[in-house]
Structure 1
Amino acid sequence: MVVKMVLMIILTVLIYGAISFYIWRNGRAWLEVSPLRRFKKTYTVLFLILSLSMFIGMIPHLGIFKWVGGYWFIIVGYSLVLLPFMNLAYYLARKRGLMVMGIIYFLFFTAVISYGSYQAFSPVVRYDQVEVNKEAGRDSIKIFMASDTHLGPIVGSGHLKKLAAMVEEEKPDIVLIPGDIIDDQIDTFNEENMIEIFRGMKAPLGVYVSPGNHDYYGNDLKELEEEFEAVGIQMLMDETVEVKNGFYLVGRKDLTDDNRSSISELVEGLDHSKPIIMLDHTPVELAQAEESGVDILLSGHTHRGQLFPGNLITGWIYENDWGYLKKGNLHSFVSSGFGTWGPPLRIGTRSEAWIIEVNFD
């Protein structure tokens, strides 16, 4: 097993090295015909730093490299699509037009990074309305749902304050956050005192969260739960609460948790004449939720691919990778997320929160 892992690491390094060399060589070729040709050594040193930035960013207190590494990831990914076409065009043009192609390449990534940054850090509120044919002791509830905040070195307190401002403006009855609250580690969450921003989020029926896979990775889940409890926010992990004797709220442990209960176990014994709303970070058990009598299922995780063409992949993997899907009597909502994972960019998606008006009959 260890040998296999070592071989995989070596293979990954070799592939990444080959890709990096390919991009470096193209840049060097352009530099040689540009007015900047005297900066060849500077270019090579800068390129080396950029290519290592994703790994340097894993070192604590070097969060700036997470930003740099995120942007570099995009450059590498899209370059693998763009450069072969540019190389082909260059040879078809009998090795002419290299300067123009280099400028096009630069302008393309300037546009991608500018547009992607705007999409990532200018969140929107999306609205939908559904009917649940059950009695809840009230005519309706207004749910504010936001997932995947990924709070950490990239998505910090400034972005979280936008979420709090949305809650204040929308004045929902209840706030629900289905997972991936922190981005692996709780350090930045604590350093920027983000729990105080959550403390300011108020709703008549309360604020509830459930964990996602990234909340487990840094082994800080227990501490995160305690932080929320201290400000009156309940983290539901395979737990059920009855809200105002009107409807049930069920929060699941994440799919990565080997000890998580099945949906049928969680709803067993509940009064199914009352609405059941479930938080489940990863939208993979829609059929089980529908069969178990869950009325509304709120999820995230997919990011809707976050970066095109990732949305094509998530659309292929998940029955509902984004938005609203009705499956029998189940209403499934999946958010693309309020924050970002990896690159601080969104291409073809938008950071978002949802307002879901639920009418009871």
Structure 2
Amino acid sequence: METKNINLVVFDEEENFNKTKELLGYEGATIKRFYCVQSLIQMKEVINQLDDDDIIFLVIHVFGTTKNLKGIVKFKNSGILDEYPKLSYMYISEGNKQDDIQKLMIDNRISVEQVFKYHEVLDEIRNRRKIPLTKKELLGTSNILNYNTSELNNYKDDFKFDYAIITALEEDEMEKILPIIEREGKIDNSKHLVEFGHIKGYKSKKVIYASQQATGMIDAAILSTELLQYRPKYLIMAGVLGGKPKKTNIGDVVIATKTFTIDKGKIDDLGFHPEIESSSNENACITSIRREKQEITNFLRAEDKTRNSKIKIHFGPIGCVRQVIDLEDYFKDSISTTDRKAIALEMESYAVSRSCELVNNGQTKALIIKSVMDNTQDKDDDGKSYASWSSAMFVKYILKNDII
């Protein structure tokens, strides 16, 4: 994308803005015009000056001492994103403190986002990893319902979603997710019911969501790829799974640190030789959740009005298989022998994680949050509804409390 037509708005203190703006580009050459803002009122004044076809992009300087993240906190409290939820933006900082800033975001319970150096801003835009909007796009109320799937390829950059949520099942799994979302509309899709909206009570937290037509990795990969075209920050899979016998109980929540398969390989006269596929899910958001483990546990137990809840939260690898397992000792013989730390198994998570690795240059983080409905033996469906509920409540907590 040409950057010379972009109006670059910098959320910064005036003194620092005047000293450093040339690190971002040159007005009239690589940038059309610079603006400095420190409040929603100033932001509105800038936007009012622009024509409908003028292009706008925002960068936020992490000003103040690194320790207090003053620039981020002030921006978060400015109301700019509430007023302009579609606005494209990046955090920027001088020096080499980007990693330290992201760690402080976790410590201060601020949604973790990448912090860029000044010189990286234009490269991100040129390579379309960051997409500026026109004033008309920023202020417009375009209805996605008007676009069919092929037309969306031309417009998908307009729609900014923080989260995508996927479930393998509509019944129980998606049914328990729906109450936490305020629906705004749907996308024209003849195969999947793909809807969008925001987290109830949090209008700026945009979410797109859908359930699979059938269980399994193929359907999970196809639906994940469909949702990833809207470039969400996180792709969350909620729902149910089988827990490790004697280590998990019905309703316990499992967060995947890794997903892996066990049935790919080669068969010859000597038997089956497995080829393990795996995908790592460890990232900063998992660390954020670990730090809130006790608070989330307390919330889940307090919300459970049906029983004296003893829900626990587990972090660990999840095995992904292509069969429904109802067999004593299967976990010990087939899953634990592949990864001794494995805590659960199910049928979709590897496909979701792998899709996030391959689509959008890996920028979307996969987060698998599933709850135990059985222990892979003596199966029945009594635990499915309860496990779906605890998984959905976990998702509700981390989204409403800015854990990710």
What's the TM-score once normalised by structure 2's chain length?
0.28
Higher helix share goes to which structure? 1
Larger relative CO (CA 8 A, sep 6+): 1 or 2?
A: 1
